[in-house]
């Protein structure tokens, strides 16, 4: 089967998988909040920590795993495990402890398989990686809009949250089938045990490589600052819905707007990359726009205005991300997955810190003031960093 057709099938399979996982994620988060015994902000901060911490640790090991085993086998195994987990949630989603545990185990599975999944897409898309990555983002966000809408109807209107978990379990099957169609000639051959022993790069080597490349280093730092200031939606948006805009049902609008914003941003990026290459300037422009709109969210007291601001913030965040992702792809196959795992881990640490900080600050100054403080602080940090980079560049010339 031609490479182009396989890529299209893979994209459609990911769309179905995203619809299912979005239904599951929405139902799980609503189950957690409605069964909270602690203040909602603390409950959400704990849930965010348990969900995200595996992504700060296990991508490092995922890169090593991807160096030693066939990437297709890793990804297919992860899909099977995630499907089984969703079936368990369908039976035990009324238990808060189960929701927390499954959030962590799902994160571990996803984090371990993510470097292999990135490498698999690189093999499948070849030189069209940037365009394929942007297009898959479009499919993912369309799937999230559908999944969240259906998940909300099942949870709030029909009281059938377990259906969302069952649908998620079934949604992994198309990806498993498509991966089985990939010929071995299309996949990067794995090194032998002897080659791994002789040439295996350490995490220290990957870190050194990352830090010595001026472009990689600058893009990564900008992305980390952006993640720390504008990736706290897990906690912030649920609090905005429940504390400011009348209840958890409003959160459905937030999730749909998020997906619509990323869908629009992905579409813009996909069109732009046909005519221009990703750039550090694009990363910076999107990051500044996203942080400014984070501040604007804290200044808004109107739901329609807040949703409009969130839409723009998602577009700006995605614009920055879609510029940074291709720039951070390492062509050296020996180092690619380990560097990707290292970058994923550091970005997720900032995301965890952002959500925890929002959960704690909200208890003191409220969610609106927290958004203002966090966005403005990161804008200042980003400005100081760019000023330092420019001064260093001038001194070298």
pLDDT single digits (tens) 40-86: 888 888 888 888 888 888 876 776 777 777 888 888 999 999 999 99
Tell me the per-residue pLDDT of 132-190, one tens digit each, with 9 for 90 and over.
Answer: 776 777 777 788 888 888 888 888 877 788 888 999 999 999 988 888 887 766 666 55
pLDDT at 378: 96
Q: What is the per-residue DSSP string for 76-144?
A: HHHHHHHHHHHHHHHHHTT-HHHHHHHHHHHHHHHHHHHHHHHHHHHHHHGGGHHHHHHHHHHHHHHHH
Q: Calculate mean pLDDT across residues 255-263.
A: 81
Residue 198 pLDDT more than 60? no
HSE-up of 318 (CA within 13 Å, CB side)? 28
Are the beta carbons of 14 and 139 closer than 8 angstroms?
yes
**Chain mean pLDDT for the chain:** 83
Question: What pLDDT is attached to residue 9?
Answer: 87
Position 273 pLDDT exceeds 70:
no
pTM confidence score: 0.76
Question: In 3D, which of 11, 182, 35 has the Cα closest to residue 95?
Answer: 35
Of 235, 276, 344, the residue nearest 130 (C-alpha):
276
Contact 19, 146 (CB under 8 A): yes
Per the model's pLDDT, the better-predicted residue between 325 and 295 turns out to be 295
What's the confidence (pLDDT) of residue 331? 62
Instruction: Answer for the pair 220, 344: CB distance below 8 angstroms, yes or no.
Output: no
How buried is 353 (Cβ within 10 angstroms: 0-12 exposed, 13-18 middle, 19+ buried)? middle
Give the CA radius of gyration of the chain. 21
Neighbour tally for 127: CB within 10 Å: 8
Lowest-confidence range among 23-27, 109-113, 271-275?
271-275
Q: Which residue has the higher pLDDT, 270 or 91?
A: 91
pLDDT at 95: 82
Query: What confidence tens digit (pLDDT) does each residue in 210-245 have?
Result: 777 778 888 889 999 999 999 898 899 999 998 899
* Rounded percentage of the chain residues whose pLDDT exceeds 90: 26
pLDDT at 371: 95
C-alpha torsion 224→229→231→233, nearest 10: 170
Average pLDDT over residues 253-268: 81
**Conformation bin of residue 282: beta by default, left when phi > 0, alpha when psi is -120 to 50:** alpha
Taking the CA atoms of residue 57, residue 59, residue 61 and residue 65 in that order, the dihedral angle to the nearest 10 degrees is: 160
How does pLDDT run across 344-366, given as a tens digit for each residue? 778 888 999 999 999 999 999 99
**Of 118-122, 179-183, 294-298, 326-330, minimum mean pLDDT range:** 326-330
Report pLDDT for 274.
Answer: 66
Q: Which of 379, 272, 282, 360 is nearest to 323 (CA)?
A: 282
Residue 194's pLDDT is what?
A: 47
């Amino acid at each position: 089967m031609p490479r182009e057709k396989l890529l299209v099938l893979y994209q459609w399979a990911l769309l179905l998988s995203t619809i299912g996982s979005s239904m599951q994620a929405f139902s799980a988060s609503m189950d957690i909040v409605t069964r909270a015994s602690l203040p909602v902000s603390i409950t959400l901060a704990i849930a965010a920590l348990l969900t995200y911490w595996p992504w700060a640790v296990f991508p490092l090991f995922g890169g090593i795993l991807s160096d030693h085993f066939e990437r297709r086998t890793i990804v297919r195994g992860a899909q099977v495990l995630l499907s089984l987990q969703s079936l368990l949630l369908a039976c035990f989603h009324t238990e808060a402890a189960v929701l927390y545990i499954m959030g962590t185990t799902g994160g571990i599975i996803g984090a371990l398989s993510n470097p292999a999944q990135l490498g698999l897409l690189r093999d499948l898309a070849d030189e069209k990686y940037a365009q394929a990555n942007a297009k898959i983002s479009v499919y993912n966000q369309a799937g999230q809009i559908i999944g969240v809408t259906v998940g909300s109807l099942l949870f709030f209107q029909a009281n059938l949250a377990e259906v969302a978990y069952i649908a998620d379990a079934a949604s992994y099957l198309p990806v498993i089938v498509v991966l089985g169609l990939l010929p071995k000639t299309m996949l990067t051959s794995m090194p032998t045990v002897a080659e791994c022993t002789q040439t295996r790069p350490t995490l220290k080597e990957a870190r050194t490589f990352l830090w010595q490349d001026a472009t990689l280093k600058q893009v990564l730092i900008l992305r980390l600052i952006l993640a720390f200031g504008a990736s706290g939606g897990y906690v912030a948006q649920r609090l905005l819905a429940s504390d400011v805009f009348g209840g958890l049902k409003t959160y459905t609008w937030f999730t749909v707007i998020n997906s619509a914003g990323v869908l629009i941003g992905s579409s813009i990026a996909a069109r732009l990359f046909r005519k221009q290459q990703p750039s550090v300037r694009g990363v910076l422009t999107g990051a500044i726009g996203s942080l400014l709109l984070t501040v604007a969210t804290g200044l808004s007291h109107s739901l329609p205005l807040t949703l409009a601001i969130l839409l723009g913030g998602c577009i700006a965040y995605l614009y920055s991300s879609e510029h940074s992702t291709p720039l951070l792809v390492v062509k050296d196959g020996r180092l690619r997955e380990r560097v990707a795992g290292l970058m994923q881990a550091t970005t997720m640490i900032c995301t965890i810190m952002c959500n925890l900080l929002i959960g704690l600050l909200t208890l003191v100054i409220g969610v609106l003031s927290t958004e203002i403080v966090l966005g403005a602080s990161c804008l200042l940090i980003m400005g100081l960093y760019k000023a330092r980079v420019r001064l260093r560049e001038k001194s070298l010339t």
